[in-house]
Amino acid sequence: MQVSMTVNGEPVGGEIEPRLLLVHYLRDHLGLTGTHWGCDTSNCGACVVWLDGEPVKSCTVLAASASGHDVRTVEGLEKDGELDPVQRGFTECHGLQCGFCTPGMMMTARALLDRNPDPSDEEIREAISGQICRCTGYATIVRSVKWAAAYEAGQKSAASSNGSAS
């Protein structure tokens, strides 16, 4: 069957088997291997991408279901060569060890900060509770997300003080 969708703002499409899962479409058909394929059972969260702005586990969504919809993957976090603050946070705070869970963690973190710019530790832990870091680096992941929140708050206040000066 034919599918067409937007992935990271770009229109893409092609012929697929209807049983193809979104994670395999992204990785094997589009070459977007940033999205990881982990447990296959919607437990680990390595495959989290956004579907119409909401994080979903792409091992449990058919590529066919995404046709006509908007998908965003970890490759879409960077803008104009600038890392997203969430990506910077993970770099600054050692938010990854082996890196396998990282793309999914960052997509969830970005969605969280878009809804809640100043989350508590508990809210961050709740948000990533459907994702597994087998290096058990949860404390540094929480720290990384907090770093991103603080960075964005700083940018916002800098922008508004610039605005009032002018």
Partner 1 sequence: MQVPAPLEYERATSVDHAIGLLERLGESARILAGGHSLLPMMKLRLASPEYLIDINDLHGELGYIRVEPGRVRIGAMTRHRELLESDELAEIFPIFRDAEKVIADPIVRNRGTLGGSLCQADPSEDLSAVCTTVGAECVIRGGAGERVVTMEEFHRGPYETAVGDAEMLIEIRIPVRPGGSSAYEKVERRAGDWAIVSAGAAVWLENGVIADARVGLAAVGPNTTGIPAVSELMRGQVPSEELYERAGAIAAENCSPVTDQRGSADYKRHLVAELTKRALRRSVARVAERG
- The verdict on 45 binding partner 1 (CB under 8 A) reads yes
- Cα angle, residue 114 at apex, residues 108 and 117 outer, rounded to 5°: 105
- The verdict on 101 binding partner 1 (CB under 8 A) reads no
Residue corresponding to tokens 């809804």: 115
Q: Which of 56, 71, 77, 101 binds partner 1 (CB under 8 A)?
A: 56
- The verdict on 97 binding partner 1 (CB under 8 A) reads no
Distance of CA 24 to the CA centre of its chain: 16
Count residues contacting partner 1 (CB under 8 A)? 29
* Nearest-angstrom CA–CA distance, 109 and 102: 10
* Nearest-angstrom CA–CA distance, 166 and 95: 38
- The verdict on 62 binding partner 1 (CB under 8 A) reads yes
Contact between 48 and 55 (Cβ < 8 Å) = yes
Q: Which of 8, 108, 140, 144 binds partner 1 (CB under 8 A)?
A: 108
Strand partners, 48: 57
Residue ranges in 114-133 that form contacts with partner 1 under rule CB under 8 A: 126-127, 129-131
User: Closer CB to partner 1, residue 10 or residue 126?
Assistant: 126
* Strands 48-51, 54-57: pairing kind: antiparallel
Which positions lie near partner 1, rule CB under 8 A? 1, 17-21, 24, 40-42, 45, 48, 51, 54-57, 60-62, 64-65, 67, 108, 126-127, 129-131
